[in-house]
A and B are shown apart, each in its own frame.
Chain A
């Protein structure tokens, strides 16, 4: 096959422009989501075959600039410059063209073949926006392809145009000319770089030096310090004349040029929209109605998930009944079949949490996100979240935490700085996940009353609030302010929502799966060797003397480290009945639930936390939680004596 050539292409663009929808259309299920080496940033790759080409597609993180504001930006520009993709697909939101083109301009400066995917053109008409494609192509000097990614429209045309632009081998001309003063300085610096070999275009390097880009400056530090010196002189000259930092001036000029292009190519008339979305927006962000609406929507989500979850979980339980007998009849009884069964049991336990609870919960949350509602929650909650030391976007990982703390820990990546990722990460481990909710509802809710169960949630929120305040005071650095684009409400795209849910569920299975299965084997071993009473005795100073619980709970709490819902499962197994009121007084039930809620974040969460923040941090948080839960539980028990 002579024609079978390989192409490497990248998708680049702002967040929420439909980049991943295009990526999914291109690669289907032939995709691999991993991490960038040494970074906790998602790397999505995939392949497709098209017109005799094998095309490797890489979806870069959604960003707004190619400076050094975030790791994502550095990754993106390094990748484009060093890996030399055959062409770039720059995806832009046609309904917010002006803001999107600011980033396009920066990409053009990297001088790689590029195709502009003008996405969401299907929404232009109702918004009363007309875009002249020819004029846009002329201004940008690259092919522009209108697409409606959610309907799969225009996707192959992007590839056709991209392949054509490689064949043409036309070097992209410098599309952007800055002011005369700036151009002189860029020109001078570019000339002096004749002997420098770098993956980056020289003109781009010169611009970055004037922007005082720390990473680019390092490239010059050793051998070409005179260029660096000159750039410094230029910078202070510019600053003296204009009173602004040159980096701001350059960005300013870019914005100005972009708005000229938009003025030429875009015409806005009266929107045809029904105004329904606007009315929805007004209610959901309303000064008075906003909060009740939020409580209603989120409450509905939680309630329906628990209703659905309990039913499905009950069904699964019934389905699983009797299999152990069958298994023993099939394979006999020996140590190995015994261990084999424990693996099967653990895998089933994983399904028992993932399918009835995590799956529907994440499906609804991503539905709300795709619809546009989660951004409104961040908007409403920003002020409140600031009191905890993070901004409004932290709501999203915290809410995911109610499903499972593992994906919640990973979702902290949406926070911009390490400090905020860490604070949010610590707080998510205090959110009662679905396994903890099983304990709260199955123990406290069932035997004492729903109001007590709700009270425990209240205690959790209060604790998170106080801890957040404390952690943000202790940690050095300042709180970052919220900067977020507000998406328009739109009809959620089913495929995107399902895919998002599936990826999160996969993360959960990949991280929690091995931990749960190994711990299942360990549990069997412990039960087999009959260490239970020894462990219970050893822990009795804490469990019996301080927490006022029966000695047996020591064993439960050890198992709970592996998986929290085991606390109830084991209690039932050890008692031989699910009527917990026989052994625990109401006060003991609340104490046990409280300790279960706050002590060691289950092993899977520990693994996720270590992956995101490091081993030392994970051990630190886990030890803090254990001590905290023991103190808290003991104090509650003593306070409870008063009632």
Chain B
């Protein structure tokens, strides 16, 4: 299965995190918030005009800026 960037998903779509392309700092911070490879996420909302993305992650809602979300690679599907 092909991996895509998180921002490519539509609202309500589910996916599994494959890897994070961001720098060490951003990656560490995301991992501290529980966003690790293999985690299941669901797109809750996408802000209008290419704004940030809100995802469901480990039972909580997290908002990620567009640029950061673009660096998170995921695999589509249940």
A residues adjacent to B (C-beta < 8 A): 64-65, 67, 69, 95-99, 102-103, 245, 247-248, 251-252, 255-256, 258-259, 262, 268, 285, 287-288, 290-291, 375, 378-380, 382-383, 386, 391-392, 479, 481-486, 488
Contact = CB atoms under 8 A, between A and B. Distances in A.
A483 B65 contact: yes
A484 B31 contact: no
Given A103-B32, A255-B36, 20 more contacts: A64-B33, A65-B32, A98-B60, A99-B58, A102-B32, A247-B24, A251-B28, A251-B31, A252-B36, A268-B59, A285-B47, A379-B47, A379-B51, A382-B63, A383-B51, A392-B52, A482-B52, A482-B65, A483-B62, A483-B63
Nearest to B48: A287
A64 B61 CA distance: 15
Interface in B16-57: 24-34, 36-37, 39, 44-45, 47-52, 54, 57
Contacts of B31: 248, 251-252, 255
A252 B17 CA distance: 12
Contacts of B47: 285, 290, 379-380, 382-383
Main SS class of interface, B:
mixed
Contacts of A268: 59
B63 A99 contact: no
Nearest to A211: B28
B54 A486 contact: yes
B59 to A, nearest CB: 5
A99 B60 contact: yes
10 contacts: A65-B32, A96-B60, A247-B28, A248-B31, A262-B59, A268-B59, A382-B63, A383-B49, A386-B65, A486-B62
A482 B63 CA distance: 7
B73 to A, nearest CB: 14
Given A97-B59, A99-B33, A485-B61, A288 B48 contact: yes
A252 B33 CA distance: 10
Interface of B: 24-34, 36-37, 39, 44-45, 47-52, 54, 57-68
The 3 A-B residue pairs with the shortest CB-CB distance in the complex, in nearest-first order: A481-B65, A481-B68, A482-B65
A287 B63 CA distance: 16
B60 A248 contact: no
A288 B47 CA distance: 10
A383 to B, nearest CB: 4
Nearest to B37: A252
A330 B37 CA distance: 77
A291 B48 contact: yes
B29 A65 contact: yes
B30 A483 contact: yes
Contacts of A247: 24, 28
B75 to A, nearest CB: 17
Contact of B65 (A99, A248, A251, A382): A382
B11 to A, nearest CB: 9
Contacts of B62: 483-486
A380 B48 contact: yes
B25 A69 contact: yes
B48 A102 contact: no
A538 B10 CA distance: 65
Contacts of B28: 65, 67, 69, 247-248, 251
Nearest to B58: A98
Nearest to A129: B59
A383 B58 contact: no
Contacts of B65: 382, 386, 391-392, 481-483
A182 to B, nearest CB: 15
Contact of B32 (A95, A251, A288, A386): A251
Contacts of B59: 95-99, 262, 268
A263 to B, nearest CB: 11
Nearest to A70: B29
B67 A255 contact: no
A481 B61 contact: no
B32 A64 contact: yes
Contacts of B54: 285, 379, 486
Most buried by B among A65, A285, A378: A285
A99 B68 contact: no
A417 B62 CA distance: 20
A481 B33 contact: no
Nearest to B61: A486
Nearest to B29: A69
Contacts of A96: 59-60
B57 A99 contact: yes
B16 to A, nearest CB: 14
A64 B57 CA distance: 15
Contacts of B33: 64, 99, 102, 483, 485
Contacts of B49: 383
A383 B60 contact: no
Nearest to A212: B24
A99 B30 CA distance: 11
